[in-house]
Amino acid sequence: MKMRSPTAFLREEYEELVRNELDWKIRVLQGPSTPWCTVEGKKVLMFCSNNYLGLSNHPKLKEAAIKAVQTHGAGSGSVRPIAGTMDIHVELEKRLAKFKRAEASLVYQTGFAANAGLIPQLAGKGDLIISDELNHGSIIDGVRLSHAERAVYKHSDVEDLQRVLEEAEKHQPPYRRILIITDGVFSMDGDIAPLDGIAKLGAEHGAMVYVDDAHGEGVLGEGGRGIVTHFKLSRDKVHVEMGTFSKAFGVVGGHVSGSQDLINFAYNKSRTWLLSGSHPPAVAAACIAAIDVLEQEPQHVQRLWEHTRYFKKAMKDLGFDIGNSQTPITPIIVGESGVAKKLSARLFEEGVFALPIVYPMVARDKARIRTIMNAALTREDLDFAINAFEKIGKELHII
């Protein structure tokens, strides 16, 4: 009898995804992420990148990266705690803390690494983590890596969070620590967490508050400083502000900001930070330059919001379902995954690059095209995309 291959499940499960139209079709950019870019030989309008402010191709970031290679080399040569912390990494963390108006900041290799490395250290056996039901997968994985008990509250529902907290106070023996975690901007729907209400409840119940502001930085708050500034909250109400350099900052990397105690704790306890190579000097330099641009060129954030308001109104007027988005993330919700994939394919044919988002990233009946606005676009670019959506939306009987 022939023995079944131990890796047979790999192909079987992939083919099942293909049959159910739940697989990812990877498209390849041939050049930089710019408003009009080349994807697999076709010139298309970029409408789905996280490059909110267009900084990934900003001349100041490119110049800083090139200069850092010349002065510091191509790589750091080590992990941060041993021999991989360069002066440029320290400078980045000081600049970030000043920008965030926090005591201190710590840079991780990625945003995912920040959540996966820090969350399990903040809460463990005898503790409780309370998480929004629509939190990002990196938060979910970070929670799973901890030995803490877990509770979930209804999405952005402060009353339900209060219920969970009140039940937690009755637990015997009492929990050592309670950690509330939420996304700042929810990446699939573009809505903003009620962080002011969450922080108020956290203070009333003696809980730590952790916000993942990956999609809020460069978008919300004064000068794009993020959701903590957006709600004008003090650092004693929001204890951990996590973010990334891979979205509005236009580069790559994760980070946390808060008290000096938090940062001392994090770099001694987070294994993702301790055991991963540090950023190449060019990455750190480009991140510093991105902070400079945010501080010195406010027009990028202003233009981002002008474009966002224009596009949302147009899509609503056409009859598309854009959910409850409050940010430059605008989902075009179509329901079935097959419809979302057809819409994406036709958009690409018409010159608009916008990928479908399907289960398990969203609910089975909430498949969508997730569009993300970019400050570097022009009004003519927006009209081009709107006309394409209108044409194909009618063609596929979506509107």
- 376-383, long-range: CB within 8 Å, 24+ apart, which pairs? 376/34, 376/35, 376/51, 376/53, 376/54, 377/35, 377/45, 377/307, 378/35, 379/307, 379/310, 381/35, 381/36, 381/45, 382/307, 382/310, 382/311, 382/314
Domain 59-296 in CATH 3.40.50.10540? The answer is no
* From 136, 215, 255, 300, the catalytic residue: 215
Instruction: Looking at the structure, give the CATH architecture of the domain made up of residues 8-56+298-395.
Output: Alpha-Beta Complex (3.90)
Q: Could you tell me the pTM of the whole model?
A: 0.94
- What pLDDT digit, counting tens, does each position of 114-159 carry? 999 999 999 999 999 999 999 999 999 999 999 999 999 999 999 9
pLDDT at position 189 is: 93
* From 187, 278, 325, 337, the catalytic residue: 187
Tell me, yes or no, if 187 is annotated catalytic. Answer: yes
Q: Which residues of the chain have pLDDT under 50?
A: none
* From 58, 247, 341, 366, the catalytic residue: 247
Can you tell me the distance from the alpha carbon of 357 to that of 188, in angstroms, rounded to the nearest whole number?
8
Can you tell me the distance from the alpha carbon of 184 to that of 215, in angstroms, rounded to the nearest whole number?
7
pLDDT at position 23 is: 84
- What pLDDT digit, counting tens, does each position of 280-295 carry? 999 999 999 999 999 9
pLDDT at position 118 is: 98
The domains spanning 8-56+298-395 and 59-296 adopt the same CATH topology: no
Delimit the domains of the chain by residue range. Answer: 8-56+298-395, 59-296
